[in-house]
Structure 1
Amino acid sequence: MSEISVVIEVSTLAAVVGLAIGVQLPAFAMGKAISSALEALSRQPEAEKSIMRTLFIGLAMIESLAIYVLVIVLIILFRNPLLEYLLHP
């Protein structure tokens, strides 16, 4: 195998693992946030607006982490910075 194909295969594997972890962890965090918000709503229904506002801001922040992971994985797959060093030594 050539050096380029090894780098491409390793970067593809790293992208897949990174995407799997980068999507799984925010999903768990979203589930925990929603569960905690529902528990808080059951204890204090009069604070619904405050709890829901805080929940949606938190969910947006958690979702942005998954989007950042997707962007980095796409950069690794389609514009791999390591290939420049192999092609132009």
Structure 2
Amino acid sequence: MAFRLFCSRVSILFFSFTPHILPNQGKKRSFVLQHFGTINKGQSTLLLEVVPDSGAGELTGLRGKMQIKVENGKHFYEFDYEIAAV
């Protein structure tokens, strides 16, 4: 995973790339998820997207976005995706 962090007195920018390998009955599937976030004077934003053309194996053509929601201290992940025909 690559990770970078930039800070000033009141703002933060961070980004990372996280590889995901999903073994399934001997078949390898993988993709890379890009994380990009900012904190600007206390207001935060986060963008999670599949890196274009990073899907491999059964995930070739994968594109999508993920959201992380926090409810009552628990994290939930919503992954909106599609696999385009190649």
Query: TM-score range with shorter-chain normalisation?
Result: under 0.3
Name whichever structure is richer in helix by fraction.
1
Scaled by the length of structure 1, the TM-score of the pair is 0.19
Name whichever structure is richer in strand by fraction.
2
Scaled by the length of structure 2, the TM-score of the pair is 0.20
Higher relative contact order (CA 8 A, sep 6+): 1
